[in-house]
Amino acid sequence: MPTQNKQKIVNDPVYGFISIPTALAFDLMEHPWFQRLRRIKQLGLTHYTYPSAMHSRFQHALGAMHLMAQAIAVLQSKDIPITKEETQGALVAILLHDMGHGPYSHTLEQTIVRSLDHEDLSKLFMAALNRQHEGALETAFAIFCNTYPKKFLHQLVSSQLDMDRLDYLARDSFFTGVAEGVISYERIIKMLTVCDDELVVEGKGIYSIEKFLISRRLMYWQVYLHKTVIAADQIMISLLRRAKYLTENGDHLFATPAFGAFLKYNPEYGDFESDPFWLETFAKLDDFDIFSALKVWTQHPDPILSYLCNALVNRNLLRSELQSEPFDPELVERVRKAVIRRFGIDPGDVDYFVTCDQVENKAYNPRHERIMIKEKSGRLTDISQATERDSSLTLPTTVNKYLLCYPKDVTI
């Protein structure tokens, strides 16, 4: 039989034509577990605010792999030794880095799959794929887990200046239309180099890095932490919590088999490791599982679940307020009492309707991992000290805001 042509190109709206670099990458992309990412939106419910934000995690993974190929080529041109095996390992690691995301990922992690985060699940998926491909992903897995001897390869996958962040900022900005998120990703990649096994930036790229960090902060306030997006996320969290509670108390809710399994049971990391059923079942979950259930649950006799599902399906979202100071506890208590009166619910159920929380925006966290600038003298300096602009004082600063969400039809 003729060998299938694996030298494919993809027409990407952000970068133009993307080449699939290796046969292994192509085979992994064709796997049903990876194809599932087509059915998971990159930005969850953000399209309730930005209607064009419908791009998928599949697109993001391909874009990040494209940027990784560019970064590897740049480093090799600067005589950084990277073998063919390491190149493929880095490309596969970034391609699969989001495999563990479920539908409405961070929301799901707080409600349905509470004992694992998406990075844990990505490792489990990569380990399983490595077994299926008879060890071909060993280098990729080591790079992803930061156990490979060359640390800078892991930094290209996961750090404060990785290909994941470069792609999602460029892509999310493109699909939301938020111009403040536009970054000079090509310039940043051209300025990358390696010193003492650490990924650093040449001094000429300092302003592109500063723009990258500022754009990231602005994108958080304008997109990721937009108050309407938060309101939609809070409804999703509440209705999934309610569905989980009803299921655990004997209610047989409509759900696909995969979704129903996670409503009924609480598998932990060890369960995923020991029983292939759980990884296979998680791999069947996508946005369609969740939203098809929500549409049915709008007619459920439980008034809390049906109200929340109708609110999300029909975009009758919560009122969401963000401010710099904590909300007056007396105001919050008045809101809670008004909700109890409006819906005739028990005080113990008011948290399904009212959220009082805190959100934070930190564009740059040098305590986690630093972005180092290589000056002309060869000295390495943290970006927050290297920049000449006033923003050097604010780049490492965490900005906190306080959140209050409650139904719009509640009168205080």
Phi, psi values for residue 264, rounded to 5°? -85, -35
Q: Report the b/e string of 124-136 with b at 16+ CB within 10 A.
A: bbbebbbeebeeb
DSSP states of 145-189 as a string?
A: HT-SS-HHHHHHHSSTT-HHHHHHHHHHHHHHT-GGG---HHHHH
Query: Is residue 47 predicted with pLDDT exceeding 90?
Result: yes
Section 370-382 average pLDDT: 91
Query: Is residue 86 predicted with pLDDT exceeding 90?
Result: yes
DSSP code for 387: -
Taking only the tens place, the pLDDT of each residue in 197-211 is: 999 999 999 999 999
Query: Mean pLDDT over all residues of the chain?
Result: 93
Section 267-283 average pLDDT: 93
Section 373-391 average pLDDT: 80
38-52, 351-365, 368-382 — most confident range: 38-52
Q: Who's near 165: CB < 8 A, 6+ residues apart?
A: 216
- Of 67-71, 352-356, 391-395, least confident by mean pLDDT is 391-395
% of the chain beyond a pLDDT of 70: 96
Reported pTM: 0.94
Q: Who's near 354: CB < 8 A, 6+ residues apart?
A: 332, 335, 336, 339, 404, 405, 406
Q: Who's near 167: CB < 8 A, 6+ residues apart?
A: 14, 60, 63, 64, 66, 67, 185
Find the helix or strand (DSSP H, E) in which 63 lies.
Answer: helix 57-77
pLDDT of residue 396: 62
pLDDT of residue 115: 73
Closest to 190 in 3D by CA, of 75, 79, 337, 111: 75
pLDDT of residue 188: 97
- Of 77-81, 240-244, 364-368, 406-410, least confident by mean pLDDT is 364-368
pLDDT of residue 111: 80
Q: Who's near 139: CB < 8 A, 6+ residues apart?
A: 85, 86, 88, 89, 92, 148
Section 284-295 average pLDDT: 97
Q: Report the b/e string of 254-274 with b at 16+ CB within 10 A.
A: ebeebbbbbbeeebeeeebee
pLDDT band at 361 (very low <50, low <70, confident <90, very high): confident
CB atoms closer than 10 angstroms to residue 203:
16
- Of 4-13, 92-101, 382-391, least confident by mean pLDDT is 382-391
pLDDT of residue 393: 43
Query: Is residue 390 predicted with pLDDT exceeding 70?
Result: no
Closest to 345 in 3D by CA, of 319, 307, 300, 293: 307
**Burial (CB count within 10 angstroms: exposed 0-12, middle 13-18, buried 19+), residue 319:** middle
d(CA 69, CA 20): 10
In single-letter form, the type of residue at position 319 comes to: R
